[in-house]
Amino acid sequence: MTLIVGLGNPGPEYAGTRHNFGFMVVNELARRWAIATDTSKFHGRFGSGAFAGRKVALLKPATFMNRSGQAVIDAVNFYKLEPGQILVVLDDLDLPVGRLRLRVRGSGGGHKGLTDVLSRLGTDQVPRLRCGIGSPPPMIDPAEYVLAKFFAEERDLVEKAIRDAADAIEVAIRDGFPRAMDRFNRTEEDTETKPTS
């Protein structure tokens, strides 16, 4: 099984905010894979199904961002998963909107949700997909910025990024993380300067 955990905050007031990018990606996967994530389980909204002949599960913690690890550890203990069977999807202030960065290990990088997950699991060997939400404009508190909705001019880019993130997860599950990282961690500059064969 692969457990895909989208990080975010529960409640309609947080829907569509930058900090809920992980939820948006899980919603896209749920749509593609025809998985209902309406079961209240593991301190979150949960659903399971299959993709590419493999069992997959989707989880959106309802514990609020800073305690996301509670939902993850509950699911991990129930299914007896190894850290490598988890994929955490989260927002990233340090990446431009539309950019993705897939990694199989590393620190929380200042993201409180991911940091809590790693702390509860007791390891940094947890795959994660960081989705860029852009840096806050000058004089805007980052804490307020991540809880705000995307600007109107960003919406097309955000919708594409959600699709790209779901694509990256599908490639990672089907073909492995190295293939997915090689394809989706590239910048526009990498793509433009890559020699054609």
Helix axes 155-175, 21-33, angle to 10 degrees: 60
Asked whether the beta carbons of 149 and 143 are under 8 A apart, the reply is no
Asked whether the beta carbons of 139 and 86 are under 8 A apart, the reply is no
Q: How far is CA 168 from the centre of its chain?
A: 11
Which residue type, as a one-letter code, is found at position 162? Answer: I
CA distance 189 to 146: 27
CA distance 166 to 36: 16
Catalytic residue among 19, 99, 101, 130: 19
Tokens of 73: 């550890």
Where does the chain show beta strands of DSSP type E?
Answer: 2-6, 39-41, 44-51, 54-61, 86-92, 100-103, 128-132
Asked whether the beta carbons of 187 and 194 are under 8 A apart, the reply is no
CA distance 101 to 129: 6
Annotated active-site residue 111? The verdict is no
Active site residues: 19
